Chains A and B, each alone.
Chain A
Amino acid sequence: MNNKKHIKIQEITSTRVKTSQPSQNRYIETQNYNIPSQPMKENKTIKFLDSSGQQGQPELNFKTMMQEKLSKYRENIKKFEITYDIKRYDYKQNQIEQDNHQFPQLVTLSLNNFLQQCDGLIQQNYDEILESNKLIMKLSFDKIEIYDKNGNLKETKKSFPFSSKNQPKDLKYNAIFGQKDYLLLKSTGLWVTSNIVDSYANYLRLVDEDEYFSLTVENRKKYKRTYIFCSDYITNCSINTEFNKEKCLTLFYEQLSNFESIQYQFWQIYQNIIFVVNLNFHWFCVKLDLENFVMEIYDSLYSNTTKYERLQFLFQTIFSEVMFKKPKFKIKIVMEFPKQSDSYSCGYFSCIALNYLNRKQFNLDQYVEEEQRQTFISKAEMKQKLRDLLIEDLNS
Protein backbone atom coordinates (compact mmCIF):
# COMPACT_ATOMS: atom_id res chain seq x y z
CA MET A 1 0.00 0.00 0.00
CA ASN A 2 1.50 3.28 -1.00
CA ASN A 3 -0.07 6.01 1.06
CA LYS A 4 2.76 8.49 0.94
CA LYS A 5 2.81 12.03 -0.33
CA HIS A 6 5.34 14.85 -0.42
CA ILE A 7 6.09 16.71 2.74
CA LYS A 8 8.40 19.64 2.72
CA ILE A 9 10.87 19.79 5.52
CA GLN A 10 12.58 23.07 5.95
CA GLU A 11 15.53 23.85 8.11
CA ILE A 12 15.33 27.08 10.06
CA THR A 13 17.52 29.08 12.34
CA SER A 14 17.11 29.09 16.10
CA THR A 15 14.56 31.91 15.88
CA ARG A 16 11.14 30.60 15.10
CA VAL A 17 10.07 31.32 11.56
CA LYS A 18 6.87 33.26 11.23
CA THR A 19 4.90 32.53 8.13
CA SER A 20 1.72 34.12 7.00
CA GLN A 21 0.20 30.78 6.16
CA PRO A 22 1.65 28.15 8.37
CA SER A 23 1.70 24.84 6.66
CA GLN A 24 1.00 21.61 8.47
CA ASN A 25 3.27 19.92 6.05
CA ARG A 26 6.32 21.50 7.55
CA TYR A 27 8.09 20.91 10.75
CA ILE A 28 10.04 23.39 12.72
CA GLU A 29 12.56 22.16 15.15
CA THR A 30 12.55 24.72 17.87
CA GLN A 31 16.14 24.47 18.85
CA ASN A 32 19.37 25.56 17.27
CA TYR A 33 20.55 23.87 14.16
CA ASN A 34 22.37 25.08 11.15
CA ILE A 35 23.01 22.35 8.66
CA PRO A 36 20.22 21.45 6.29
CA SER A 37 19.71 17.72 6.33
CA GLN A 38 16.97 16.28 4.17
CA PRO A 39 15.35 18.92 1.99
CA MET A 40 12.42 16.70 1.10
CA LYS A 41 10.60 14.01 3.06
CA GLU A 42 7.79 11.75 2.16
CA ASN A 43 5.38 10.32 4.62
CA LYS A 44 1.68 10.79 4.96
CA THR A 45 1.23 9.30 8.37
CA ILE A 46 3.99 11.23 10.13
CA LYS A 47 4.09 14.99 9.76
CA PHE A 48 6.44 17.33 11.51
CA LEU A 49 4.52 20.48 12.29
CA ASP A 50 5.22 24.13 12.65
CA SER A 51 4.21 24.79 16.25
CA SER A 52 2.59 28.06 15.16
CA GLY A 53 0.19 25.98 13.09
CA GLN A 54 -1.52 24.65 16.19
CA GLN A 55 -4.00 27.01 17.64
CA GLY A 56 -3.92 27.36 21.37
CA GLN A 57 -0.68 25.41 21.64
CA PRO A 58 2.16 27.15 23.43
CA GLU A 59 5.32 27.71 21.48
CA LEU A 60 7.47 24.65 21.74
CA ASN A 61 10.85 25.24 23.24
CA PHE A 62 13.04 22.82 25.09
CA LYS A 63 14.38 25.36 27.54
CA THR A 64 10.92 26.70 28.39
CA MET A 65 9.57 23.18 28.70
CA MET A 66 12.32 22.25 31.16
CA GLN A 67 11.79 25.46 33.16
CA GLU A 68 8.05 24.92 33.39
CA LYS A 69 8.47 21.30 34.42
CA LEU A 70 11.10 22.21 36.98
CA SER A 71 8.96 24.85 38.64
CA LYS A 72 6.09 22.32 38.80
CA TYR A 73 8.34 19.76 40.44
CA ARG A 74 9.69 22.36 42.84
CA GLU A 75 6.15 23.18 43.97
CA ASN A 76 6.08 19.75 45.61
CA ILE A 77 9.08 20.57 47.78
CA LYS A 78 7.99 22.85 50.55
CA LYS A 79 8.94 21.61 53.94
CA PHE A 80 12.09 19.63 54.16
CA GLU A 81 11.79 19.32 57.93
CA ILE A 82 8.87 16.91 57.48
CA THR A 83 9.86 13.44 58.60
CA TYR A 84 8.42 10.32 57.10
CA ASP A 85 7.88 7.11 59.01
CA ILE A 86 7.76 3.70 57.41
CA LYS A 87 5.49 1.05 58.91
CA ARG A 88 5.92 -2.44 57.59
CA TYR A 89 3.27 -5.13 57.53
CA ASP A 90 3.20 -8.83 56.78
CA TYR A 91 -0.03 -9.93 55.22
CA LYS A 92 0.14 -13.42 56.70
CA GLN A 93 3.00 -13.43 59.13
CA ASN A 94 2.75 -17.10 60.03
CA GLN A 95 3.23 -18.15 56.43
CA ILE A 96 6.43 -16.28 55.86
CA GLU A 97 9.67 -18.09 56.46
CA GLN A 98 12.47 -16.00 55.19
CA ASP A 99 15.13 -16.26 57.87
CA ASN A 100 17.52 -18.10 55.64
CA HIS A 101 17.15 -15.94 52.59
CA GLN A 102 19.49 -16.36 49.68
CA PHE A 103 20.00 -14.48 46.49
CA PRO A 104 17.12 -15.79 44.42
CA GLN A 105 18.12 -18.12 41.65
CA LEU A 106 16.06 -16.27 39.13
CA VAL A 107 18.64 -15.12 36.72
CA THR A 108 17.68 -17.77 34.23
CA LEU A 109 14.00 -16.97 34.26
CA SER A 110 12.30 -14.93 31.60
CA LEU A 111 10.23 -11.91 32.56
CA ASN A 112 6.97 -13.79 32.10
CA ASN A 113 8.13 -16.67 34.28
CA PHE A 114 9.44 -14.22 36.81
CA LEU A 115 6.11 -12.48 37.12
CA GLN A 116 4.23 -15.77 37.30
CA GLN A 117 6.48 -16.87 40.12
CA CYS A 118 5.93 -13.60 41.94
CA ASP A 119 2.17 -13.70 41.52
CA GLY A 120 0.35 -14.34 44.74
CA LEU A 121 3.47 -15.03 46.72
CA ILE A 122 4.84 -11.72 47.82
CA GLN A 123 2.46 -9.05 46.69
CA GLN A 124 0.58 -9.13 49.97
CA ASN A 125 3.35 -7.76 52.15
CA TYR A 126 3.37 -4.00 52.21
CA ASP A 127 4.88 -0.87 53.71
CA GLU A 128 3.05 2.27 54.67
CA ILE A 129 4.66 5.69 54.59
CA LEU A 130 3.28 8.14 57.08
CA GLU A 131 3.62 11.88 57.27
CA SER A 132 2.73 13.13 60.78
CA ASN A 133 1.00 9.80 61.39
CA LYS A 134 -1.12 10.20 58.25
CA LEU A 135 -0.93 7.58 55.54
CA ILE A 136 0.39 9.11 52.32
CA MET A 137 1.85 6.12 50.47
CA LYS A 138 1.48 2.38 50.48
CA LEU A 139 4.11 0.24 48.80
CA SER A 140 3.82 -3.38 47.83
CA PHE A 141 5.32 -5.52 45.08
CA ASP A 142 5.20 -3.52 41.84
CA LYS A 143 2.51 -1.27 43.24
CA ILE A 144 2.47 2.23 44.71
CA GLU A 145 -0.68 3.69 46.19
CA ILE A 146 -0.87 7.43 46.80
CA TYR A 147 -3.28 8.79 49.42
CA ASP A 148 -4.66 12.31 49.77
CA LYS A 149 -4.78 14.47 52.92
CA ASN A 150 -7.96 12.75 54.08
CA GLY A 151 -6.48 9.31 53.75
CA ASN A 152 -8.43 8.46 50.60
CA LEU A 153 -6.76 6.54 47.82
CA LYS A 154 -5.84 9.08 45.15
CA GLU A 155 -3.79 7.12 42.66
CA THR A 156 -2.38 3.66 42.07
CA LYS A 157 0.78 3.25 40.02
CA LYS A 158 2.96 0.38 38.92
CA SER A 159 6.50 0.56 40.24
CA PHE A 160 7.70 -1.07 37.04
CA PRO A 161 5.51 -0.04 34.12
CA PHE A 162 7.34 -2.53 31.90
CA SER A 163 6.52 -5.53 34.06
CA SER A 164 3.15 -6.38 32.52
CA LYS A 165 2.73 -9.94 31.39
CA ASN A 166 2.83 -11.17 27.84
CA GLN A 167 5.49 -8.77 26.68
CA PRO A 168 6.63 -9.42 23.12
CA LYS A 169 9.76 -11.52 22.82
CA ASP A 170 11.87 -8.64 21.63
CA LEU A 171 11.07 -6.46 24.63
CA LYS A 172 13.10 -7.40 27.69
CA TYR A 173 12.95 -5.36 30.87
CA ASN A 174 12.10 -2.18 28.99
CA ALA A 175 14.70 -2.67 26.28
CA ILE A 176 14.30 -3.83 22.71
CA PHE A 177 16.13 -7.06 22.06
CA GLY A 178 16.77 -8.40 18.64
CA GLN A 179 19.01 -10.64 16.64
CA LYS A 180 21.77 -8.04 16.84
CA ASP A 181 21.83 -8.16 20.63
CA TYR A 182 21.66 -11.93 20.51
CA LEU A 183 24.68 -12.04 18.23
CA LEU A 184 26.45 -9.55 20.43
CA LEU A 185 26.05 -11.72 23.49
CA LYS A 186 27.15 -14.76 21.51
CA SER A 187 30.25 -13.08 20.12
CA THR A 188 33.33 -11.58 21.63
CA GLY A 189 35.01 -8.29 20.90
CA LEU A 190 31.80 -6.29 20.45
CA TRP A 191 30.74 -3.32 22.52
CA VAL A 192 27.88 -3.88 24.90
CA THR A 193 24.72 -1.89 24.24
CA SER A 194 22.64 0.12 26.67
CA ASN A 195 19.85 -2.35 25.83
CA ILE A 196 21.82 -5.01 27.66
CA VAL A 197 23.10 -3.00 30.60
CA ASP A 198 19.83 -1.17 31.26
CA SER A 199 17.65 -4.24 30.92
CA TYR A 200 19.86 -6.06 33.41
CA ALA A 201 19.55 -3.05 35.74
CA ASN A 202 15.77 -3.15 35.41
CA TYR A 203 15.78 -6.89 36.03
CA LEU A 204 17.78 -6.39 39.24
CA ARG A 205 15.34 -3.74 40.40
CA LEU A 206 12.55 -6.30 39.99
CA VAL A 207 14.60 -8.93 41.84
CA ASP A 208 15.25 -6.48 44.64
CA GLU A 209 11.57 -5.58 44.92
CA ASP A 210 10.67 -9.27 44.93
CA GLU A 211 13.21 -10.08 47.61
CA TYR A 212 12.30 -7.15 49.81
CA PHE A 213 8.57 -7.84 49.86
CA SER A 214 9.26 -11.53 50.52
CA LEU A 215 10.96 -10.73 53.81
CA THR A 216 9.48 -10.50 57.25
CA VAL A 217 8.99 -7.13 58.86
CA GLU A 218 12.13 -7.52 60.96
CA ASN A 219 14.30 -8.37 57.98
CA ARG A 220 12.76 -5.63 55.87
CA LYS A 221 13.90 -3.14 58.50
CA LYS A 222 17.51 -4.23 58.00
CA TYR A 223 17.34 -4.46 54.24
CA LYS A 224 18.83 -1.69 52.13
CA ARG A 225 16.65 -1.44 49.07
CA THR A 226 18.21 -0.85 45.67
CA TYR A 227 17.31 1.98 43.32
CA ILE A 228 19.15 1.93 40.00
CA PHE A 229 19.19 4.91 37.67
CA CYS A 230 19.54 3.41 34.19
CA SER A 231 22.07 4.89 31.81
CA ASP A 232 19.60 7.20 30.08
CA TYR A 233 19.65 9.61 33.04
CA ILE A 234 23.35 10.44 32.88
CA THR A 235 23.35 10.20 29.07
CA ASN A 236 20.47 12.68 28.81
CA CYS A 237 22.19 15.05 31.21
CA SER A 238 24.98 15.28 28.58
CA ILE A 239 27.43 16.47 31.19
CA ASN A 240 30.35 15.98 28.83
CA THR A 241 29.31 18.75 26.51
CA GLU A 242 27.82 21.36 28.82
CA PHE A 243 26.23 21.43 32.24
CA ASN A 244 22.59 22.46 32.11
CA LYS A 245 21.51 22.56 35.74
CA GLU A 246 17.82 23.01 34.99
CA LYS A 247 17.80 20.04 32.65
CA CYS A 248 19.68 17.77 35.05
CA LEU A 249 17.31 18.65 37.88
CA THR A 250 14.18 18.29 35.77
CA LEU A 251 15.26 14.88 34.50
CA PHE A 252 16.09 13.84 38.05
CA TYR A 253 12.64 14.80 39.32
CA GLU A 254 11.10 13.12 36.30
CA GLN A 255 12.81 9.85 37.22
CA LEU A 256 11.46 10.17 40.73
CA SER A 257 7.91 11.19 39.90
CA ASN A 258 6.56 8.22 41.89
CA PHE A 259 7.90 9.88 45.04
CA GLU A 260 6.28 13.26 44.57
CA SER A 261 4.22 12.90 47.75
CA ILE A 262 7.36 12.45 49.86
CA GLN A 263 9.04 15.43 48.21
CA TYR A 264 11.21 13.15 46.07
CA GLN A 265 13.05 11.88 49.16
CA PHE A 266 13.43 8.45 47.62
CA TRP A 267 16.44 7.73 49.87
CA GLN A 268 13.95 7.31 52.73
CA ILE A 269 12.88 4.10 50.96
CA TYR A 270 16.02 3.15 49.02
CA GLN A 271 19.47 3.25 50.56
CA ASN A 272 21.42 1.39 47.89
CA ILE A 273 21.45 4.02 45.14
CA ILE A 274 23.26 3.16 41.93
CA PHE A 275 23.81 5.08 38.72
CA VAL A 276 24.68 3.30 35.48
CA VAL A 277 26.99 5.57 33.52
CA ASN A 278 28.08 5.67 29.90
CA LEU A 279 30.66 8.44 29.61
CA ASN A 280 32.74 8.82 26.47
CA PHE A 281 31.50 5.41 25.29
CA HIS A 282 32.72 3.72 28.45
CA TRP A 283 30.47 1.93 30.93
CA PHE A 284 30.85 2.01 34.70
CA CYS A 285 28.69 2.21 37.83
CA VAL A 286 28.54 4.63 40.73
CA LYS A 287 27.03 3.79 44.08
CA LEU A 288 26.02 6.77 46.17
CA ASP A 289 26.25 6.69 49.93
CA LEU A 290 23.96 9.53 50.98
CA GLU A 291 24.76 9.16 54.67
CA ASN A 292 28.45 9.85 54.29
CA PHE A 293 28.31 11.51 50.88
CA VAL A 294 30.63 9.08 49.16
CA MET A 295 30.62 8.15 45.47
CA GLU A 296 31.84 4.56 45.15
CA ILE A 297 33.21 4.02 41.66
CA TYR A 298 33.01 0.55 40.10
CA ASP A 299 35.02 1.08 36.96
CA SER A 300 36.90 -1.65 35.13
CA LEU A 301 39.24 0.99 33.70
CA TYR A 302 39.79 3.47 36.51
CA SER A 303 42.45 6.07 36.11
CA ASN A 304 42.23 8.90 38.62
CA THR A 305 39.51 10.85 40.32
CA THR A 306 39.59 13.66 37.73
CA LYS A 307 37.63 11.41 35.38
CA TYR A 308 34.67 11.47 37.76
CA GLU A 309 34.64 15.16 38.68
CA ARG A 310 31.84 16.06 36.28
CA LEU A 311 29.70 13.37 37.88
CA GLN A 312 30.66 14.61 41.30
CA PHE A 313 29.52 18.10 40.31
CA LEU A 314 26.25 16.70 38.94
CA PHE A 315 25.50 14.79 42.15
CA GLN A 316 26.39 17.76 44.30
CA THR A 317 24.08 19.97 42.26
CA ILE A 318 21.05 17.70 42.31
CA PHE A 319 21.37 16.52 45.90
CA SER A 320 22.04 20.00 47.26
CA GLU A 321 18.59 20.90 45.93
CA VAL A 322 16.63 17.83 47.01
CA MET A 323 18.36 17.37 50.37
CA PHE A 324 18.50 21.04 51.36
CA LYS A 325 22.16 20.57 52.21
CA LYS A 326 25.34 21.34 50.39
CA PRO A 327 26.89 17.90 50.19
CA LYS A 328 30.47 17.50 49.11
CA PHE A 329 30.75 14.02 47.67
CA LYS A 330 34.03 12.18 48.13
CA ILE A 331 35.16 10.02 45.25
CA LYS A 332 36.12 6.52 46.32
CA ILE A 333 37.43 4.23 43.61
CA VAL A 334 36.75 0.60 44.53
CA MET A 335 40.22 -0.81 43.88
CA GLU A 336 39.27 -4.45 44.39
CA PHE A 337 36.82 -4.25 41.49
CA PRO A 338 38.22 -6.37 38.62
CA LYS A 339 39.84 -4.68 35.67
CA GLN A 340 39.11 -5.38 32.02
CA SER A 341 42.01 -6.57 29.90
CA ASP A 342 40.42 -5.83 26.54
CA SER A 343 38.80 -2.90 24.77
CA TYR A 344 35.19 -4.02 24.71
CA SER A 345 33.95 -5.57 27.94
CA CYS A 346 33.29 -2.58 30.22
CA GLY A 347 29.54 -3.17 29.77
CA TYR A 348 29.85 -6.69 31.20
CA PHE A 349 31.88 -5.34 34.10
CA SER A 350 29.18 -2.77 34.81
CA CYS A 351 26.69 -5.64 35.00
CA ILE A 352 29.12 -7.45 37.34
CA ALA A 353 29.10 -4.36 39.57
CA LEU A 354 25.30 -4.20 39.51
CA ASN A 355 25.07 -7.88 40.32
CA TYR A 356 27.51 -7.49 43.20
CA LEU A 357 25.87 -4.40 44.67
CA ASN A 358 22.44 -5.94 44.45
CA ARG A 359 23.57 -9.30 45.81
CA LYS A 360 25.22 -7.63 48.79
CA GLN A 361 21.82 -6.52 50.03
CA PHE A 362 20.63 -10.08 50.44
CA ASN A 363 23.22 -10.71 53.12
CA LEU A 364 21.86 -8.88 56.07
CA ASP A 365 24.55 -10.19 58.34
CA GLN A 366 27.54 -7.87 58.30
CA TYR A 367 30.02 -10.75 58.52
CA VAL A 368 28.63 -12.38 55.41
CA GLU A 369 28.63 -9.03 53.69
CA GLU A 370 32.34 -8.59 54.31
CA GLU A 371 32.99 -12.03 52.87
CA GLN A 372 30.87 -11.24 49.87
CA ARG A 373 32.99 -8.19 49.22
CA GLN A 374 35.59 -10.36 47.52
CA THR A 375 33.21 -12.22 45.28
CA PHE A 376 32.68 -10.47 42.00
CA ILE A 377 31.52 -12.95 39.43
CA SER A 378 33.66 -13.46 36.34
CA LYS A 379 32.99 -11.91 32.96
CA ALA A 380 32.19 -15.34 31.49
CA GLU A 381 29.64 -15.98 34.25
CA MET A 382 28.10 -12.58 33.70
CA LYS A 383 27.86 -13.14 29.99
CA GLN A 384 26.15 -16.47 30.56
CA LYS A 385 23.68 -14.88 32.97
CA LEU A 386 22.84 -12.22 30.42
CA ARG A 387 22.42 -14.81 27.69
CA ASP A 388 20.12 -16.90 29.87
CA LEU A 389 18.15 -13.91 30.96
CA LEU A 390 17.83 -11.93 27.78
CA ILE A 391 18.01 -14.25 24.82
CA GLU A 392 16.57 -17.53 26.02
CA ASP A 393 13.34 -16.99 24.12
CA LEU A 394 15.18 -16.42 20.89
CA ASN A 395 16.77 -19.81 21.32
CA SER A 396 13.50 -21.58 21.80
Chain B
Amino acid sequence: MSIKEIPIILVCKQKEKTYNVQVNIESSIEDLIIELHPLLQPGNQQQIVLHFGNMILNSKKQFKDYNIVKGSIIDIIIYTHGGIFLN
Protein backbone atom coordinates (compact mmCIF):
# COMPACT_ATOMS: atom_id res chain seq x y z
CA MET B 1 0.00 0.00 0.00
CA SER B 2 1.59 3.28 -1.03
CA ILE B 3 1.40 6.33 1.19
CA LYS B 4 -1.17 7.73 -1.18
CA GLU B 5 -3.49 4.84 -0.43
CA ILE B 6 -5.44 4.98 2.79
CA PRO B 7 -8.05 2.70 4.29
CA ILE B 8 -11.32 4.40 5.15
CA ILE B 9 -14.66 3.22 6.45
CA LEU B 10 -17.91 3.89 4.68
CA VAL B 11 -21.15 3.75 6.61
CA CYS B 12 -24.61 3.76 5.09
CA LYS B 13 -26.85 4.26 8.10
CA GLN B 14 -30.05 4.13 6.15
CA LYS B 15 -29.29 0.64 4.83
CA GLU B 16 -27.27 -0.37 7.90
CA LYS B 17 -24.20 -1.30 5.89
CA THR B 18 -20.51 -0.70 6.37
CA TYR B 19 -17.60 -1.08 3.99
CA ASN B 20 -13.84 -1.03 4.37
CA VAL B 21 -12.38 0.73 1.39
CA GLN B 22 -8.88 1.59 0.32
CA VAL B 23 -8.70 4.79 -1.66
CA ASN B 24 -5.95 6.65 -3.37
CA ILE B 25 -6.05 10.19 -2.00
CA GLU B 26 -5.74 11.50 -5.54
CA SER B 27 -8.86 9.73 -6.70
CA SER B 28 -12.02 11.74 -6.95
CA ILE B 29 -15.04 11.49 -4.70
CA GLU B 30 -17.05 10.76 -7.83
CA ASP B 31 -14.97 7.61 -8.48
CA LEU B 32 -16.10 6.21 -5.16
CA ILE B 33 -19.72 7.19 -5.70
CA ILE B 34 -19.67 5.37 -9.03
CA GLU B 35 -18.36 2.26 -7.27
CA LEU B 36 -21.13 2.47 -4.71
CA HIS B 37 -23.96 2.55 -7.22
CA PRO B 38 -24.14 -1.18 -7.94
CA LEU B 39 -23.83 -1.96 -4.25
CA LEU B 40 -26.51 0.37 -2.96
CA GLN B 41 -28.66 0.47 -6.07
CA PRO B 42 -30.29 3.86 -5.50
CA GLY B 43 -33.64 4.32 -7.19
CA ASN B 44 -34.39 6.74 -9.98
CA GLN B 45 -35.50 9.30 -7.44
CA GLN B 46 -32.38 8.94 -5.30
CA GLN B 47 -28.81 10.20 -5.33
CA ILE B 48 -25.74 9.00 -3.43
CA VAL B 49 -23.72 11.66 -1.65
CA LEU B 50 -20.90 11.37 0.85
CA HIS B 51 -20.58 13.28 4.10
CA PHE B 52 -17.49 13.66 6.23
CA GLY B 53 -17.88 15.34 9.60
CA ASN B 54 -21.32 16.71 8.62
CA MET B 55 -19.79 18.26 5.50
CA ILE B 56 -20.89 17.17 2.10
CA LEU B 57 -18.02 16.03 -0.13
CA ASN B 58 -17.91 17.66 -3.53
CA SER B 59 -17.92 14.91 -6.11
CA LYS B 60 -15.56 16.88 -8.34
CA LYS B 61 -12.88 17.06 -5.66
CA GLN B 62 -10.28 14.56 -4.57
CA PHE B 63 -9.89 12.87 -1.19
CA LYS B 64 -6.71 14.85 -0.57
CA ASP B 65 -8.74 18.08 -0.68
CA TYR B 66 -10.39 17.07 2.59
CA ASN B 67 -8.85 16.19 5.90
CA ILE B 68 -9.52 12.50 5.33
CA VAL B 69 -6.93 10.27 6.93
CA LYS B 70 -6.44 6.57 7.57
CA GLY B 71 -9.49 5.16 9.32
CA SER B 72 -11.73 8.16 8.66
CA ILE B 73 -15.41 7.36 8.66
CA ILE B 74 -17.39 8.68 5.74
CA ASP B 75 -21.17 8.61 5.75
CA ILE B 76 -23.07 7.55 2.69
CA ILE B 77 -26.28 9.52 2.40
CA ILE B 78 -28.94 8.54 -0.07
CA TYR B 79 -30.67 11.77 -0.95
CA THR B 80 -34.29 11.48 -1.87
CA HIS B 81 -36.91 13.26 -3.90
CA GLY B 82 -40.45 13.70 -2.77
CA GLY B 83 -43.91 14.40 -4.05
CA ILE B 84 -46.67 11.91 -3.58
CA PHE B 85 -47.63 8.69 -5.21
CA LEU B 86 -50.93 8.88 -7.01
CA ASN B 87 -52.98 5.74 -6.60
Q: Spell out A's residues near B (CB within 8 Å).
A: 24, 27-31, 33, 37-38, 41, 43-51, 54, 57, 60-63, 65, 161-162, 168, 170-171, 174-176, 190-195, 197, 231-232, 235-236, 238, 244, 247, 251, 278, 280-283, 301, 343-347
CB distance from B24 to the nearest CB of A (A): 4
Contact with A along B54-81 (1 / 0, CB 8 A): 1110111000000000000000011111
Q: Given A41-B35, A236-B13, A347 and B82 touching (CB < 8 A)?
A: yes
Within the assembled complex, what's the spacing in Å between the Cα atoms of A31 and B21?
15
CB distance from B61 to the nearest CB of A (A): 8
- Does A236 contact B21, Cβ atoms closer than 8 Å? no
- Does B80 contact A281, Cβ atoms closer than 8 Å? yes
- Does A46 contact B23, Cβ atoms closer than 8 Å? yes
CB distance from B69 to the nearest CB of A (A): 14
CB distance from A367 to the nearest CB of B (A): 36
**Which residue from B24, B31, B84 sits with its C-beta under 8 Å from A301?**
B84
Task: List 3 tightest A-B contacts by C-beta distance, closest first.
Answer: A45-B27, A191-B83, A45-B24
**Which residue from B20, B45, B78 sits with its C-beta under 8 Å from A235?**
B78
Within the assembled complex, what's the spacing in Å between the Cα atoms of A24 and B7?
11
- Does B38 contact A45, Cβ atoms closer than 8 Å? no
Contact with A along B13-24 (1 / 0, CB 8 A): 111111111111
Within the assembled complex, what's the spacing in Å between the Cα atoms of A232 and B20?
22
Closest B residue to A184 by CB, please name it: B81
CB distance from B71 to the nearest CB of A (A): 8
Q: Given A174-B56, A235-B80, A278-B80, A31 and B31 touching (CB < 8 A)?
A: no
Q: List B contacts of A280 (CB < 8 A).
A: 85
Decide yes or no whether B86 CB sits under 8 A from chain A.
yes
- Does B13 contact A49, Cβ atoms closer than 8 Å? no
Interface size in chain B (residues, C-beta < 8 A): 44
Within the assembled complex, what's the spacing in Å between the Cα atoms of A282 and B87?
14
Within the assembled complex, what's the spacing in Å between the Cα atoms of A57 and B22?
13
- Does B45 contact A191, Cβ atoms closer than 8 Å? yes
Q: List B contacts of A45 (CB < 8 A).
A: 23-24, 26-27, 31
Within the assembled complex, what's the spacing in Å between the Cα atoms of A345 and B27?
38
Q: Given A48-B35, A283-B82, A174 and B55 touching (CB < 8 A)?
A: yes
* Most A CB within 10 A of own CB, among B19, B23, B81: B81
Q: List A contacts of B47 (CB < 8 A).
A: 193, 195
Q: List A contacts of B27 (CB < 8 A).
A: 45-46
- Does A191 contact B31, Cβ atoms closer than 8 Å? no
- Does A38 contact B38, Cβ atoms closer than 8 Å? yes
- Does A62 contact B39, Cβ atoms closer than 8 Å? no
Q: Given A24-B22, A43-B35, A278-B82, A62 and B55 touching (CB < 8 A)?
A: no
Q: List B contacts of A283 (CB < 8 A).
A: 82
Q: List A contacts of B82 (CB < 8 A).
A: 191-194, 197, 278, 281-283, 346-347
- Does A29 contact B14, Cβ atoms closer than 8 Å? no
Q: List A contacts of B26 (CB < 8 A).
A: 45
- Does B7 contact A235, Cβ atoms closer than 8 Å? no
- Does B80 contact A236, Cβ atoms closer than 8 Å? no
Within the assembled complex, what's the spacing in Å between the Cα atoms of A186 and B69?
40
Within the assembled complex, what's the spacing in Å between the Cα atoms of A231 and B80?
9
- Does A27 contact B19, Cβ atoms closer than 8 Å? yes
Q: List B contacts of A161 (CB < 8 A).
A: 53-55
CB distance from B73 to the nearest CB of A (A): 9
- Does B21 contact A247, Cβ atoms closer than 8 Å? no
- Does A62 contact B80, Cβ atoms closer than 8 Å? no
- Does A191 contact B81, Cβ atoms closer than 8 Å? yes
Excluding A60-B20, A175-B56, A347-B82, 4 further A-B contacts by CB distance (< 8 Å) are A43-B35, A45-B31, A176-B49, A247-B13
- Does B56 contact A194, Cβ atoms closer than 8 Å? no
Q: List A contacts of B31 (CB < 8 A).
A: 43, 45-46
- Does B16 contact A347, Cβ atoms closer than 8 Å? no
Q: Given A193-B47, A281-B83, A346-B84, A27 and B18 touching (CB < 8 A)?
A: no
Q: B1-53: which residues lie under 8 A (CB-CB) from chain A? A: 1, 7, 9, 11, 13-24, 26-27, 31-32, 35, 38-39, 41, 45, 47, 49, 53
Within the assembled complex, what's the spacing in Å between the Cα atoms of A9 and B45?
26
- Does A54 contact B20, Cβ atoms closer than 8 Å? yes
